Structure 1
Amino acid sequence: MLSVEERAQLARLRATAFGLVVAAYILSFFHRMAPASIAGELARAFSASGVELGGLAATYFYVYTAMQVPTGVLVDTLGVRAIVAGGGVIAGVGSLVFGTADTLGVAAAGRLLVGLGVSVMFVAMLKINAVWFHDRHFGTLTGLTVLLGNLGAVLAAAPLVWLLALATWREVFVAIGLFSLALGAATWFFVRNHPGEVGLPSPRELDGHAPHAPHRGRWTEGLAEVLRNRATWAGFWPSLGVGGTLFAFAGLWAVPYLEQVHGMTRAQAADHTALMLAGFAVGSFLLGALSDRLARRRPVMLAGLVVYLACWLWLLAQVTVPRALSLALFAVMGFATAGFTLVWAVAKEVNRPALSGMATSVVNTGAFLGGALLQPLVGLVMDMGWDGRLEAGVRIYSAADYRAGMGLMTAFAGLGLIGALFVRETYCRYSASADKEEER
């Protein structure tokens, strides 16, 4: 039993770790989605074509994708503190470079540094949830994490558009870079990797299970174990198809699509993406909590992804509806997208606790690989049909061009739903073999 002082210390350290790391995660979402709101400014500043604009936005996703598995290895072996602190510093420098860039190449280099820095935040956040909280709350906590992280995505939509009336996009990114540097320093001084570092038991130990200790032995052996597990890979495809389309659409192409196909102003289009991302945030929390309460993963996941695919079919049809209805549809689409977030819980539960970082990083790679592929691919598909029209230095695409781009993303969403059919039901607990192996 813990004393009152120990309980207070555990609660304080847990809140500190959660608060600082989730703040860094919020910044990662802001950087991920901001190009959609400043697409016009970026196109004018760097005279960028659709494929160049998509490539600039996707630079973040390239490095983010490449870093997911290494991040899983690092948090399982070195711990969260050093990884998040270093990531904050790198992202801060990248944001400063991006905000002061005078060429497309320099802007891409800055965005690459940003992607490198923030690429560690989500897997580190999942590790915090696994180490500092009880297993039975993991789905709810992961949903809460995504809910809070999406504050950054929401800030990158309509609020960023409003802010651009008061400051330039360059000033915004310089200020964010300075904040990121301060956040990295705070993480280094105040975050602890796990309760055992200060002599406290973890929630798993209090329940009589083995603690979430760092992986013992070679990291290559642990990673190989995760990769050989077929149950790990089942969650990769919903992550690729559903997470990838969300990041590509909300992160770049949604605002231009709504402006050029449905005649909305940028502020109106940004309202739609903000509502979509808010729906995703709320859905992640509520569907995660519902999954924990029902002790089921697959039914909740599949229901969400069916609705998500149906929303893509509506976008593909390009049917213009009253604004209130289109806002509602975007909110529903965002809410339904959250079904794919349960793949992180499943990946953790079909592998040993000590390998939770590596397991979640493997499936998380899918979402960012999807975003990295789709942002420039959609631009390439639309550039192929572009008729040469320009307006204030920005390419204007036809409805047919956008239908081709939306068709590509609809296919990816369908792939995600098909992949979800093969996800193993874990009943919200570690598999018996994984837990037995951990405690041996």
Structure 2
Amino acid sequence: MRPILVFATLSSILCLSMFYRVTNAVISPDLIRDLHLNAERLGTLGSAFFYSFALCQIPMGVLLDKIGPRIIITFFSLIGASGAIVFGSADSFASAFAGRTLLGIGMASALMGSLKVFVLQFPAGRFAILSGTIISIGTLGNILATSPLAYLNATIGWRQTLLYAGGINIILAVLLFWVLKGDGRNRQYDDIPLSAQERKTGVLESFRLVVSNLSFWQLGAVAFFRYGTLVALQGLWLGPYFMDIKGLTQMKTGNLLMMLSLGTIVGSPTAGYLTDRVFYSRKTVILMGLGLYSLCLVPLTGIFDIDSPLAFSVLLFFIGVFSSFGMLAYTHIKELFPLNMSGTAISGVNFFVISGGAVLMQVIGIIVEGFVRADRSYPPQAYHTAFFICLLGMVCGLLFYAFSKDSHRPH
């Protein structure tokens, strides 16, 4: 029963993290109005979460390896709760930026801490399925940030919504501290045989071994552009694109973004099944999924003139499905290193993942602002150009990753 409670609590915390990441897309008109933002500042505000989140990934792996996930996840979750309260109370760009920064710091342990718990408490053969499942469940947070957030924004406002989220955050942090006993380790793993060299490996040596591995950088590159593009679109820029360029309402925009989240829910366990039961390869499934993901991004560059909400619904659904294949990067990198270095390796890749969101979200804002008209509106080519840059980066990252070392699940 306790493993179920642990999994449910971790999933709920990840839901909140996913919710915080992408709230700005639906409420972007309100943020622009209430905080007096232009496109560049809107992008910077959105990226604040990801910059602070990414910087925390540098020590996060070491903290999880040396202190344990129970204390780390609880402590950081409470910081996240304070960030939600600050952001919900913000009356200026500076205070909103501070709130988003605290949110990024606070939620930095949500996914990495969960994966560390899986490494320590569950059989190794279930890692891909567990990681894919919790990410699918966590994606419910993305769904809550679409139509449900649009509804809450229309009824109680975005500020009150974030204050309530902060309260839920506190409850979940306390609950996790209660259900995850000890330091989060399953004692059966204390007897896992490690070589004498592995037991002598210190923090700095672990870090050196990880960053000196070429496959680490290849996985990092494809993860950077895969998630960076996804969250820049889903977490912010598809919102104003649909509302300002396509003339859709806030609720209809939320409905479209929900399709992307639904696609992710379908894609994550599908990728886990394909890699564990069909191809027995991480690299093959990642290349296949992200190749199709890149193709799905092409219509957003303006090459095809799409105005039908139905067509956009189908497109965003498959963007969600195929982008989620990239989550196997965590399994891939874990299997390239010994258990005592797993936290460092996984958090290292996650640094690239979140950095991609920070950089591309801000870059799109800079590009879009460069096309600003005299009346402060933005033409379609502003968004199309920015989205093309994301596609180009995705293709380059995929080509670099194609030469990485594979890892396999035994038949």
User: How far apart, in 1, do the equivalents of 2:75 and 2:140 lie?
Assistant: 23
Match of 2:374 among 388, 408, 412: 388
- Shift in Å, 1:217: 5.5
- On the 8 A contact 1:279/1:332 being kept in 2, the answer is yes
1:308 counterpart = 2:293: yes
**Which residue is 2:400 aligned to?**
419
Deviations 1:172-222 (A, max 9, x none): 0111111111211222222133444xxx524x96xx7669xx976632222
SS at match of 2:306: coil
1:423 alignment partner, SS class: coil
C-alpha contact 1:21 1:84 (8 A) present in aligned 2: no
| TM-score, length-scaled by structure 2 | 0.94
8 A Cα contact 1:143 1:289, kept in partner: no
CA separation of 1:304 and 1:155: change in aligned 2, threshold 3 A: same
Which of 285, 290, 297 does residue 282 from structure 2 map onto? 297
1:169-180 aligned within 5 A: 169-180=158-169
* Structure-1 residue corresponding to 2:4: 15
Is residue 186 of structure 1 aligned with residue 175 of structure 2? Answer: yes
- Determine whether 1:38 maps to 2:27: yes
C-alpha distance in structure 2 between counterparts of 1:105 and 1:195, whole Å: 40
In 2, the alpha carbon distance for the partners of 1:158 and 1:116 equals 26
Q: Deviations over 1:78-129 (max 9, x none)?
A: 1100011001110011111111111110111111111100011111111111
Q: Which residue of 1 aligns with 2:39?
A: 50
Q: Deviation digits for residues 264-297 of structure 1, max 9, x if unmatched?
A: 2222222111111221122011111221113211
Aligned-residue identity in percent: 27
Query: Which whole-Å CA distance do the structure 1 matches of 2:43 and 2:76 have between them?
Result: 24
- Which of 65, 84, 108 aligns to 2:97? It is 108
Which residue number in structure 1 is paired with residue 343 of structure 2? 357
Aligned AA (1:90): I
CA distance in 1, matches of 2:318, 2:215: 29
Q: Work out the number of aligned pairs and report it.
A: 405
Relative to the length of structure 1, the TM-score reads 0.88
1:139 aligns with 2:143: no
Partner deviation per Cα, 1:273-331 (whole Å, 9 max, x = no partner): 11112211220111112211132112211111111111111111252153322211110
Indicate the residue corresponding to 2:188 in structure 1: 201
Per mean C-alpha deviation after superposition, the further-off stretch among 370-379 and 409-418 is 409-418
Moved over 6 A (4+): none
Alpha-carbon distance in 2 for matches of 1:321, 1:95 = 35
Give the residue type in structure 2 aligned to 1:166: T
State the alpha-carbon separation in 1 of the partners of residues 109 and 184 from structure 2: 17
Say if 1:71 and 1:261 are closer, same or farther in 2 by CA, change over 3 A: same
1:71 and 2:54 are equivalent in the alignment: no
Question: Does 2:315 correspond to 1:329?
Answer: yes
Instruction: Return the offset for 1:149.
Output: 1.0
- The answer on whether the counterparts of 1:258 and 1:269 sit within 8 Å (CA) in structure 2 is yes
Contact 1:80 1:127 in 2 (8 A): yes
Distance 1:416 1:230 in 2: 14
Which residue among 363, 368, 377 is the counterpart of 2:354?
368
Report the Cα offset of residue 349 of structure 1.
0.2
Which letter maps to 2:134? T
Q: String of CA shifts for 1:393-423, please: whole Å, max 9, x gaps.
A: xxx3111111121122112221232233123
CA-CA distance at 1:229 after TM superposition: 2.2
CA drift of 1:376 comes to: 1.5
Q: Is the 8 A contact 2:70 2:184 kept in 1?
A: no
Q: Distance in 2 between matches of 1:428 and 1:403?
A: 40
Aligned twin of 1:237: 221
Does the 8 A contact of 2:283 with 2:332 survive in 1?
A: no
Give the letter for the 1:402 counterpart. Y
Asked whether 1:221 is paired with 2:205, we answer yes
Does residue 155 of structure 1 match 2:144? yes
Q: 2:366 is matched by which residue type in structure 1?
A: L
Tell me the SS of whatever aligns to 1:428.
Answer: coil
Corresponding residue for residue 379 of structure 2: 398
- The CA distance in 2 between the partners of 1:194 and 1:387, in whole Å, is 55
Residue segments in structure 1 that go unaligned for 5+ positions in a row: 1-11, 391-395, 430-440
Q: Does 1:26 pair with 2:12? A: no
